[in-house]
Amino acid sequence: MTVMVNRELACLKTLYNRCREWGKYEGDNPAARVRQLRESPGRIRFLEADEEGKLLAAASEPLRTMILVGIYAGLRLLSEALTLRWADVDLKRGLLTVQAAYAKSGKTRTVPLNRGSCGPPSKRSASGPQRALSTSSRAETAHRIARSAPRSRRPAEAQGSRM
């Protein structure tokens, strides 16, 4: 409930600000003085080894590679993983570089890879498409993932997980 209230408040604040910018409303934003409620940090859940195996077995490419990058490198899917270019992937040193333009912090960072996340992308040719994880646009890939994720999750029986 708290999360919903905060999202509604944020929407209301934005609505007033946009109306002021567009000249549709004059005066102060009445929602600006309202404080958001404190949210609980939520539940952190990690996949068990057998759940990870089932999930990866049920997923087809490119979803499987994206799951591996998420599990082993901790990248955000839309803003970081799908924006990786081959120039950002160093398989010899086992590093991924998240460019500042796509990082949540706005700073370029280097993420070490382990054996689990180095496997599948190395099978692809660096001379092929410029994108490392996807040959299509972020929007197209996100749409395909959203369609395939429920099918992959069901056979993997990963209860309580979110994609």
Which region, left, alpha or beta, applies to residue 114 given φ > 0 means left and ψ of -120 to 50 means alpha? Answer: beta
Per-residue pLDDT of 30-48, as tens digits, reads 999 999 999 888 788 888 8
What gap in Å lies between CA 113 and CA 38, rounded to an integer? Answer: 35
At residue 77, φ and ψ (nearest 5 deg) are -65, -65
- The pLDDT of 70-80, averaged and rounded, is 81
Candidates 131, 84, 128, 91; CA nearest to 108 is 84
More confident residue, 108 or 146: 108
Both tokens of 11, joined, read: 């929407």
pLDDT band at 22 (very low <50, low <70, confident <90, very high): very high
Strand order in the sheet with 109-112: 89-90, 95-98, 109-112
39 Cβ partners below 8 Å, 6+ apart?
Answer: 2, 3, 6
